[in-house]
Amino acid sequence: MKIIETEIAGLLIIEPKVFADDRGYFFESYNEDAWRKAGFPDIDFIQDNEARSTKGVIRGLHYQLAPYSQSKLVRVIHGKVFDVAVDLRKGSPTFGKWFGTELSAENKRQFFVPKGFAHGYSVLSGEAVFAYKCDDYYHPEAERGIALDDPDLGIDWKVTVNPTLISEKDKQHPLFKDAEINFKVFV
């Protein structure tokens, strides 16, 4: 696998080694031994999730407060999304900054989002099937979010559909400056 560092420490893009021929393709989407040998943090993924969405859907920006925060390894099984993570680690030089990358069934890229980040994505194709691994379970009492259209963040979701499709719950998230954040200081 090839690991690509982003401009925000901890956010990583992973390009798996894909074996393709006339029959199709094969790749390992996750191999714990290879993960450890590549120097990834000591993370035990314990839950897999999958979501199907249609073009113009934006999901996020979601996170769970500590001690229930989650690291995620995300990928797209079908279609194409623009995936975004926002740094919520107080004291980080990139606190409040976001990074986005395109994930698709074609490019087979994965995005590692560690604890201390809000996460969301927009669907760019007709539909998309999005899958991700988490290192903690969902705890509804710890769930929080940030407004998708926060002008201080200025995220370009790359969505060309008008209107976009956003859940009522996601429409109620506070602005970044008003969001409850309790992550440890970045070291």
Domain contains 2: no
Give which of 111, 80, 85 is closest to 14, Cα–Cα.
Answer: 111
Residue at 24 is within a domain: no
Please write the tens of the pLDDT for every residue from 132-147. 999 999 999 999 999 9
pLDDT of the residue at 187: 52
Model pTM score: 0.93
173 is catalytic: no
Measure the N-to-C terminal CA separation of the chain; round to a whole number of Å.
Answer: 27
| Residue 73 within any structural domain of the chain | yes
Over range 67-84, report the average pLDDT. 97
Known catalytic residue: 78?
no
Catalytic residue among 63, 119, 132, 173: 132
Quick check: is 19 in a domain? no
| Peptide bond before residue 61 is cis, with ω within 30 degrees of 0 | yes
E runs forming strands in the chain? 2-5, 12-15, 19-21, 24-26, 47-54, 58-64, 72-78, 80-87, 98-104, 110-113, 117-123, 127-134, 143-145
Identify whether 158 is part of a domain.
Answer: yes
Domains held by the chain: number: 1
Catalytic entry in 30, 62, 68, 78: 62
pLDDT value for 35: 81
Is 156 inside a domain boundary?
A: yes
Q: Beta-strand (E) ranges in 22-97?
A: 24-26, 47-54, 58-64, 72-78, 80-87
Give pLDDT, residue 161. 79
> Computed over its alpha carbons, how large is the radius of gyration of the chain?
16
Quick one: which of 17, 146, 132, 25 has its CA closest to 83?
132
Does any domain span residue 32? no
List, for residues 21-50, the tens digit of each pLDDT value: 999 889 888 888 888 887 776 788 999 999
Q: Where are the alpha helices (DSSP H) in the chain?
A: 32-37, 168-171
The CATH number covering residue 114 comes to: 2.60.120.10
Query: In whole angstroms, what separates CA 154 from the centre of its chain?
Result: 17
Range of the domain at 109: 43-178
Q: Is residue 132 part of a domain?
A: yes
Q: Which residue has the tokens 């040998």?
A: 37
